[in-house]
């Protein structure tokens, strides 16, 4: 059974798409079958992997419940990497979805057998807490939250965690927060160090060890239609994303063990909390 991750944060420009595309590329390069599902009407992940914005079927058709994810998935370029592209139609989904009864679960239903077909599925969320992000959080097993090392990062994260609690309580109790990744860290600035310290003080277990530096190679990679790990494999940004992918695999292994243990122990509330750390 593969893992389905939502890459989410209600703020735009924090590195969600960059993180999704590069974790996906690293996992695909190591031989896993990987699917990235672009859920943002800006289509940034789609374009970053060299596809057009008007491809059909798209993630819109899956969200609306018209097409399965398997039908909408297509090869993304690098070996083992597949994408469900976004399309401009998606801009309407935030208005249409609330009109459809029970639509919170559409994406989960449309994923179906894709959960087994791909070792890793990454849902690249739009910058909002609207119905599309809720669909992703209902479809996912786990969440990764990219946070930009800048002023008010902690406030934004706390707001996101509140929403996550709500989704867990109402819609997807099994959803696990895997971790928070600090992105666009500019090590020359004091602010970046202060923000990192604050995040680690508040959430010592949650914040990934790996920090993604601000790096020009990362910023330019989408204009070449490539993940930075392919565009500039020797860059610092690339090295950081490879390290993050390794750390993620490590965390996933660890949480698998505790999920198995908690199943043995009839999923006691304490075991559940341990899994969520
Ligand atoms: N580590 C980084 N260094 C420099 N630029 C980055 C880095 N990560 C992301 N960017 C750039 O910042 C912008 C926002 O990143 P993106 O991943 O699209 O954020 P989001 O998906 O959260 O809106 C993009 O132009 C991207 O290329
Ligand atoms: Mg994005």
Q: Please, are residues 229 and 22 in contact by the beta-carbon 8 Å criterion? A: yes
The pLDDT profile of the chain, 277 residues, written as one tens digit per residue, is 899 999 999 999 999 999 999 999 999 999 999 999 999 999 999 999 999 999 999 999 999 999 999 999 999 988 999 999 999 999 999 999 999 999 999 999 999 999 999 999 999 999 999 999 999 999 999 999 999 999 999 999 999 999 999 999 999 999 999 999 999 999 999 999 999 999 999 999 999 999 999 999 999 999 999 999 999 999 999 999 999 999 999 998 877 665 555 555 443 333 333 333 3
For the segment(s) 3-276, the CATH number from 3.40.50.2300, 3.90.1200.10, 3.40.50.300, 3.30.1330.10 is: 3.40.50.300
Q: What does the alpha-carbon distance between residue 234 and residue 242 come to, in Å, rounded to a whole number?
A: 11
Looking up tokens 């959960």, which residue turns up?
A: 115
Please identify, by atom number, the ligand 1 atom nearest to the C-alpha of residue 213.
1
Q: What does the alpha-carbon distance between residue 158 and residue 48 come to, in Å, rounded to a whole number?
A: 29
* Sign of the torsion formed by the C-alpha atoms of 43, 44, 45 and 49: positive
Taking each helix axis from N to C end, the angle separating 153-170 and 190-202, rounded to the nearest 10 degrees, works out to 30
Spans of all domains in the chain:
3-276
Please identify, by atom number, the ligand 1 atom nearest to the C-alpha of residue 222.
27
Residue 15 Cα to ligand 2 midpoint, Å, equals 7
Residue 215 Cα to ligand 1 midpoint, Å, equals 10
Q: What does the alpha-carbon distance between residue 70 and residue 110 come to, in Å, rounded to a whole number?
A: 8
Residue 76 Cα to ligand 2 midpoint, Å, equals 17
Question: Containing H/E element for 179?
Answer: strand 176-183
Ligand 1, atom 5: closest residue by C-alpha: 219
């Amino acid at each position: 059974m593969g893992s389905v991750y939502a890459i989410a944060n209600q703020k735009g420009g924090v590195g969600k798409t960059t993180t999704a595309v590069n974790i996906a590329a690293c996992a695909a390069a190591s031989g896993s079958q990987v699917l990235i599902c672009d859920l943002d009407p800006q289509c940034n992940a789609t374009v970053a992997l060299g596809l057009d914005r008007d491809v059909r079927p798209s993630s819109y058709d899956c969200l609306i419940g018209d097409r399965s994810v398997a039908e909408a998935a297509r090869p993304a370029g690098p070996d083992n990497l597949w994408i469900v592209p976004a399309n401009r139609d998606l801009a309407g989904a935030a208005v249409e979805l609330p009109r459809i009864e029970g639509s919170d679960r559409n994406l989960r239903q449309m994923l179906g057998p894709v959960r087994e077909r791909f070792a890793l599925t990454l849902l690249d969320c739009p910058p909002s807490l609207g119905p599309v992000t809720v669909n992703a959080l209902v479809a996912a097993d786990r969440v990764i939250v990219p946070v930009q090392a800048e002023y008010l990062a902690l406030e934004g994260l706390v707001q996101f965690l509140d929403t996550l609690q709500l989704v867990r309580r109402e819609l997807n109790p099994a959803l696990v927060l895997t971790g928070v990744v600090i992105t666009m860290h500019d090590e020359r600035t004091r602010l970046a160090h202060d923000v990192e310290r604050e995040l680690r003080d508040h959430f010592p277990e949650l914040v990934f060890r790996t920090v993604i530096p601000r790096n020009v190679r990362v910023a330019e990679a989408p204009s070449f239609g490539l993940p930075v790990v392919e565009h500039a494999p020797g860059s610092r940004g690339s090295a950081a994303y490879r390290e993050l992918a390794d750390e993620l695999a490590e965390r996933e292994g660890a949480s698998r063990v505790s999920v198995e243990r908690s199943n043995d122990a009839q999923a006691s509330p304490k075991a559940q909390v341990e899994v969520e750390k």
